[in-house]
Amino acid sequence: MRALISVYDKEGIVEFAKELVNRGWEIISTGGTYNKLKDAGIDVISVDKLTGFPEILDGRVKTLNPKIHAGILARRDLKDHMETLKEEEIETIDMVVNNLYPFEEKLLENADHETMIENIDIGGPSMIRAAAKNYKDVYIVTDPADYKLVLEYIDKKDPKFNEYLACKAFSYTAHYDAVISDYFSKRQGEKFPRYINKSYKLVEELRYGENPHQSAAFYEDSYTLDKIEYKVLHGKQVSYNNLNDMYSALNAVINFEKPAAVAIKHTNPCGIGTGDSLEEAFVKAYECDDESIFGGIIALNREVDVKTAEHLSKIFLEIVAAPSFSKEAYDLLAQKKNIRLIEIPDFEKLYDPGFRFKQVLNGIIIQNSDDVIWDQDKLDFVSNRKPSETELEELKFAFTCCKTTFSNSVVIAKNGGTLALGQGETKRSWAVEEAIERAGEKIKGAVLASDGFFFRDTIELLHKAGINVIVQPGGSVKDQEVIDYANENNICLVFTNMRHFRH
């Protein structure tokens, strides 16, 4: 039995090779791996001696030789294959131990382009794929963590184990090629490349999915240069729903420059607040809906201070996520056993717009992020009554909040905090009715923002409720009816000429 060993990651390889030799295996090797095994006193045959052809082109060509690939690919159960090997004086190779040049590692180091090119492995993937294709006859070992397992199984002749190794090998080369493909696509600046090749690594299995009867796991885009590191400072394992809700909360809170707090329940905002301090911002978010926030997710865009922590500690919350926590705030909140405190030191990286995708029938749809919030130059002050500077700031806040809610949605706001949110309705007037009812008596002096245009029935509802400062995208064939009603009733109406649908 012969094993061809050629690895970049040499951890554990000497011990593994020694054990193979002890079991009667013959070892073939290349380059640095050959030298390491030879220096360890292992009897090893060099590839160039086997092929009769030297390594050339600075090592770019070593194993790309028929005596290597035929030895790997020949089917032992086919008589003509074995006869061909005999005629060509080629011996079988029964195990390939290989891992690849560190392209991904160099990418994370932000290496220059020439270095990246030299770390594209050619011979390695070819050998791995050849051995994996012929897995019934050849062991393909790509993960040093499997060395011990391989030694347990090589005497058992278990075809399921060989297939397990092949599956792992094909996943490995697919990941490797995906990283390279993605690297070149980004260099080309392709907005929507012909193929999207992304690869994700399993990080952990989660307790369950959206519901206890669903299994779930977290996979990470492991080679992104913009990975956002976070630390679970306190609390149990973060769940599937926690990760989903936290993502929604963070994508909402990053839209605000002032100290801000966003409360999320089932991916929906139930309160958003801004203020001169984080404490003020949180109180506004809490007061918007002091019931739904129970068991919710809180995202904050400033370090959590002890005053804010005092408010947080009085409520049952699943997660509090923030750039950092003061020692006093952490000590106070960590007294609560079930709360998860998540620190995101690289908070500014959340502002990277990137792309968003959704799974649909037969594939995915992809779009760039909705990263334009409010364009002052595109505003149309369509009513006779114009907003004051204070009212315009309130409208901007409310419209920004609309960007974070699910359509159809409206936001009633006052003094930099949401009073009520109506969202996820199939009819906009229902969203308005819902928000008006939730705002109650606090509605006097408030403003309203809508994520999409609306008709006369909606502005009539708002006027009757006492809201007379409104922002909406415009763009309907019935816009003039809405404008006429605003002018007849001294309502301030602003069109943004952009909408913020979120589905």
The active-site residue, picked from 18, 106, 258, 266, is 266
Peptide bond into 408 cis (omega under 30): yes
What is the C-alpha separation between 345 and 350, in angstroms, rounded? 11
The active-site residue, picked from 81, 133, 307, 463, is 133
DSSP letter string over 384-414? SBPPPHHHHHHHHHHHHHHHTSPSS-EEEEE
What is the C-alpha separation between 44 and 278, in angstroms, rounded? 66
At residue 115, what is the residue type? Answer: T
Q: In what order do the strands lie in the sheet with 380-381?
A: 231-234, 340-343, 317-322, 296-300, 260-265, 268-274, 417-422, 410-414, 447-450, 469-472, 492-495, 380-381
Q: Where are the alpha helices (DSSP H) in 236-371?
A: 240-253, 278-288, 306-312, 327-333
Contact 343, 231 (CB under 8 A): yes
Q: Structure tokens of 282?
A: 């949180």
Dihedral (C-alpha) 108, 113, 116, 118: value to the nearest 10 degrees?
A: -160
Contact 350, 254 (CB under 8 A): yes
Give the sign of the dihedral formed by CA 368, CA 369, CA 375, CA 381: positive
Does residue 133 have an active-site annotation?
yes
What is the C-alpha separation between 232 and 334, in angstroms, rounded? 12
The residues annotated as belonging to the active site are 133, 266
